[in-house]
Structure 1
Amino acid sequence: MEIRTKAALTTVIRAQGRAALVVNVRSRRGRRHFAEVRQRLQAAGLDLMGVWPVSDPADLPQRLASAATCGADLVVVGGGDGTLSEACHQLAHRDVCLGVLPLGTTNNFARSLGLPLNLSEAVRTLTEGKVADVDLGHAAGRHFANLTSLGVSVLVAEHVPHGLKRLLGRAAYPLTALALLPRHQPFRARLRVDGEVYELATHQLNIANGSFHAGRAIAADAGVDDRLLVVYRLGDANRLRLTAATVRQALYGPYRPLARSPFLTADKLWLETDPPLDLDIDGEIRGRTPVQITLEANALRVMVRPSFRDT
């Protein structure tokens, strides 16, 4: 299949406006804004060739696949990071562009792309922005946009109340983690990177493609198109030190460069744990250790602001 250049695809989207719309109406703001989003896109001159409101997450892969093959050049997806992760998986290496409407709780992928979280500005980016190529991670047969993690985050993903997310937004995640931490057991992890072996004990290990985690910047120079996966643990086997490390990361992460501890960078790694553990891939429990995690450079086309540095 022929892949158009970024400039050519940008020109076609602006000139012809062929678009599809998929919105997770179970997301924090999806149901509330679905009708408004549709109206705003049409008012902005986009020709909606297909519109899919999705209330059952099980239907999302098929709806996104339909959107990707309906003849649209721009597939606009509204929802949280889990919805956008599925969109990235479906649209990876295709000659179509993803348009992001951040309607979730933490919106890590949108933040990594430097996209506005305001709905009107997000729609303006879809019609006045440019097409960029960004990286995706790959683990357990799935592409991921932002983060693969294991440990406490898996419990949080399984148990955070949907109503609490609606009420408190991203604050629901650390509150749920604090409630679950007393019963969580530490684990040992072994990472193989470029022939080197790293062993550690922790309650939480993260492998990031994007530059945001829980709505906070991971590091000063982390990016979604830097050709790097960023590996870092929070604390060690001690629960109190996990809490302290989480607070430090939230406070100082945006100012620390990747060259400093606790970060390890790679484009491919092999991960084993004792005991074997489930993986949280962009908020969804998919796969299990041992696992190979890789970076796929320039795997996704996405609409970004004109000021976005596309490397």
Structure 2
Amino acid sequence: MRTKRQLGEDIRSARRAVLVVNAHARRGRKLYGTARAGLLAAGFTLLGDHPVDRPAELERTLEAAAGSGADLVVVGGGDGTISAAARVLAHRDIAMGLLPLGTTNNFARTVGVPLDLGAAVATLASGEVVDVDLGVAGDLFFTNHVGVGLSAEVMRKAPPPLKRIAGRLAYPITALALLARHRPLRAVVRAAGREHEFLTHQLYVANGGFHAGRPITADAHADDRLLVAYPVGGPARRALLLETARNASSGERRTLGDEPFLAVGELWLETDRPARVEVDGEPRGRTPLRIGLAANALRVMAPAGTLDH
């Protein structure tokens, strides 16, 4: 494995890259040509160029990109696409470049990659390689979060026609419909020799600093060796709605030391009944579940001066 400095120098000098864009999503399909032209204008040689319009082909395409001999795999898409790429590129002698083409772009925000496409391409050309942590749910890497409770039911039951018509608004619409009959979970989190119990409709375990495009806290990021577990509201349905609004409006003013955040390096999660789990927005099994960290598991091209432990 090259050092981060060596890899960064190779990217800036040789500019060998592969472009993989999720063209199944509307923004990816619309901006693929612009992204490709921007990389070529920045002096990159594209060893591969893949607008992927079938989700089932994404992992295979990413595996091929990782084995192409490129120093940089540039991935365009939303958080689901970025998470899939992170799983493929983890612990490899290659860096991931981010082109944030999603709605919330949580991981790009956490790493500090600009959301403007032109500025993101400029970061690939002049930035530096940093290491970031990945979460591990069971044996599955994730970039952003694990959700237990209502969010997992929403990801499973949001109707495809509604998603096509309403986009990401399909998820809150589905959540409101499901909440009326959703039963709260009694969740037990065991970490660092202590046990924490929550009665809630929703529990998250986050790796990084953003959820739904908003800061979780002012001091959470993807290179701090910490997971952040927190419930959203208590057993009352109204509390879930109020706490969701509070989190969205005040995250940048809160810290990991505030209630109800639990910042740990590893945890075991149980619920009073088997509960569905979503990992970065994809349904992934049920509780109980071990959630841990893979420190410095992924190399990312980030703006110069990005915090890197």
Q: Partners of 1:139 and 1:230 in 2: how far apart?
A: 13
Q: Judging changes above 3 Å, is the alpha-carbon distance between structure 1 residues 170 and 226 closer, same or farther for their aligned structure 2 residues?
A: farther
- Corresponding residue for 2:206? 208
Summarize the Cα distance change of 1:208–1:175 in structure 2 as closer, same or farther, 3 Å threshold: same
The 10-residue stretch of structure 1 (108-117 or 168-177) with the greater mean CA deviation from structure 2: 168-177
Say if 1:162 and 1:78 are closer, same or farther in 2 by CA, change over 3 A.
Answer: farther
**Counterpart-to-counterpart distance in 1, 2:57 and 2:42:** 28
Distance (whole Å) between structure 2 residues aligned to residue 55 and residue 235 of structure 1: 38
Match of 1:68 in 2: 66
Question: Once the two structures are aligned, what percentage of the paired residues are identical?
Answer: 54
Q: Which amino acid aligns with 2:21?
A: V
- Counterpart check, 1:157 vs 2:155: yes
Check whether the contact 1:220–1:256 (CA below 8 A) recurs between aligned residues. yes
Matched, 1:14 2:12: yes
- Find out whether 1:139 has 2:137 as its counterpart: yes
Cα distance in 2 for residues equivalent to 1:37 and 1:97: 18
Gaps of at least 5 residues in structure 1 are none
Write the distance in 1 (CA, Å) between the matches of 2:114 and 2:160: 24
- Cα gap change, 1:188/1:244 in structure 2, threshold over 3 Å: closer, same or farther? same
Q: Which residue of 2 aligns with 1:125?
A: 123
Q: How does 1:11-50 map to 2 (within 5 A)?
A: 11-50=9-48
- Cα distance in 2, alignment partners of residues 307 and 161 from structure 1: 43
TM-score (norm 1): 0.95
Superposition deviation, residue 273 in structure 1: 1.1
Cα deviations by residue, 1:171-221 (Å, 9 ceiling, x for unpaired)? 554343223211222111111101111111110000000110011100011
Letter in 2 for 1:293: I
| Code of the aligned partner of 1:57 | P
Q: Which residue is equivalent to 1:106?
A: 104
Structure 1 residues 223 and 88, CA, compared in 2 at 3 Å: closer, same or farther? same
1:278 corresponds to 2:276:
yes
Q: Shift of residue 136 of structure 1?
A: 0.3
Which residue of structure 2 lines up, in the alignment, with residue 115 of structure 1? 113
Task: Assess if the C-alpha contact under 8 Å between 1:106 and 1:169 holds in 2.
Answer: no
Q: 1:262 aligns with which of 253, 260, 263?
A: 260
1 CA distance for matches of 2:156 and 2:300?
Answer: 29
Separation (CA, whole Å) in 1 of partners of 2:169 and 2:122: 28
Letter of the aligned partner of 2:67 in structure 1? T
In the alignment, structure 2 segments of 5+ residues that lack a partner are: none
Q: 2:183 aligned with 1:185, yes or no? A: yes
Distance 1:58 1:140 in 2: 22
Shift in Å at residue 141 of structure 1? 1.8
The RMSD of aligned alpha carbons is 1.6
Task: Kindly report which structure 2 residues correspond to 1:209-248, keeping only aligned pairs within 5 A, or say none.
Answer: 209-248=207-246
Q: Which amino acid letter does the alignment assign opposite residue 70 of structure 1?
A: S
Q: TM-score, normalised by structure 2?
A: 0.96
Matched residue of 2:180: which SS?
A: helix
Structure 1 residue 34, shift from structure 2 partner:
1.0
